[in-house]
């Protein structure tokens, strides 16, 4: 069909050219033949065939144009996608670099804050080593519970309380918990204080009149309360170098 249309178009073109070239010669045989040939070719069938071929050609061209347009759009989208992927890759690399810096900073801070474990002489008997570590653990737990209960932090590092520290130390000796005694020993060791009561103070005698606990408690509870009060006074006064005489 395409070949026939091509031949028809070529024949019409040739006939039209002949008619145009011989149009000024009215009685020339060649002009007559040209007009006759052109007339024979210009039939409705040939015209419709040419029109149909033209429409098909235009439709094909439009389809091709749409195809080219879609191809260009897809190419543009692909280029935009590649550009966006490159941007995301660059952003991801920046975030990775930030993460690496943060991890490096964390490791650096940990290396500064983490203290080495206490060194125990390797020649120390294993049982004694275990005793030391177990007691240190128990002492740490005791101090932590006191911190939670009373809100203590690092108050023990403050200066100016050696007498109070010694008083508490002797109180805990009387109470009998080795962990509390060890805690105050550690405080005084850190400050360089002695565990002995202050000897530089001049002994003083203070007379304390105790109330009659029998007015408040019934016997034998009243006697027990008075006994415990006397013990507490003796303990406190001995730490401060004071002699208490209870009446």
Does residue 171 surpass a pLDDT of 80?
yes
Which one-letter DSSP state was computed for residue 167?
H
Does residue 115 surpass a pLDDT of 80?
no
The number of beta carbons lying within 10 Å of the beta carbon of residue 184 is 21
Q: What CA dihedral angle connects 131, 168, 204 and 201, to 10 degrees?
A: 70
pLDDT band at 201 (very low <50, low <70, confident <90, very high): very low
Quick one: pLDDT at residue 93? 92
Range in 117-121, 158-162, 211-215 the model is least confident about: 211-215
Quick one: pLDDT at residue 200? 43
Write down the pTM of the prediction: 0.38
Range in 81-90, 198-207, 231-240 the model is least confident about: 198-207
Start-end of H helices in 162-220: 162-175, 178-191
Give 32 or 201, the one with higher predicted confidence: 32
Quick one: pLDDT at residue 95? 92
Percent of the chain predicted with pLDDT > 70: 71
Give 125 or 201, the one with higher predicted confidence: 125
Range in 33-42, 68-77, 84-93, 115-124 the model is least confident about: 33-42
Cα–Cα distance for residue pair 170/181, rounded to 1 Å: 8
What integer best gives the mean pLDDT of the chain? 78
Quick one: pLDDT at residue 85? 92
DSSP structure string for 48-89:
HHHHHHHHHHHHHHHHHHHHHHHHHHHHHHHHHHHHHHHHHH
């Amino acid at each position: 069909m395409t070949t026939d249309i091509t031949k028809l178009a070529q024949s019409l073109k040739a006939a039209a050219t002949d008619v145009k070239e011989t149009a000024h010669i009215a009685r020339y045989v060649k002009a007559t033949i040209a007009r006759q040939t052109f007339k024979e070719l210009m039939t409705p069938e040939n015209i419709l065939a040419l029109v149909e071929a033209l429409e098909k050609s235009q439709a094909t061209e439009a389809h091709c144009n749409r195809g080219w347009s879609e191809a260009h759009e897809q190419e543009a989208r692909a280029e935009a996608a590649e550009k966006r992927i490159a941007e995301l890759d660059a952003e991801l690399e920046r975030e990775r670099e930030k993460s690496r810096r943060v991890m490096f900073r964390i490791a650096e801070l940990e290396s500064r804050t983490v203290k080495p474990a206490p060194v125990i002489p390797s020649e120390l008997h294993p049982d004694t080593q275990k005793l030391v570590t177990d007691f240190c653990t128990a002492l740490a737990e005791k101090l932590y519970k006191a911190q939670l209960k009373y809100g203590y932090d690092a108050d023990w590092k403050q200066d100016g309380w050696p007498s109070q520290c010694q008083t508490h130390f002797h109180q805990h000796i009387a109470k009998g918990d080795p962990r509390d005694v060890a805690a105050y020993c550690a405080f005084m060791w850190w400050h360089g204080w002695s565990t002995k009561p202050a000897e530089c103070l001049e002994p003083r005698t203070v007379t304390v009149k105790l109330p009659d606990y029998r007015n408040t408690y019934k016997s034998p509870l009243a006697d027990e309360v008075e006994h415990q009060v006397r013990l507490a006074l003796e303990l406190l006064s001995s730490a401060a170098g004071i002699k208490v005489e209870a009446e």
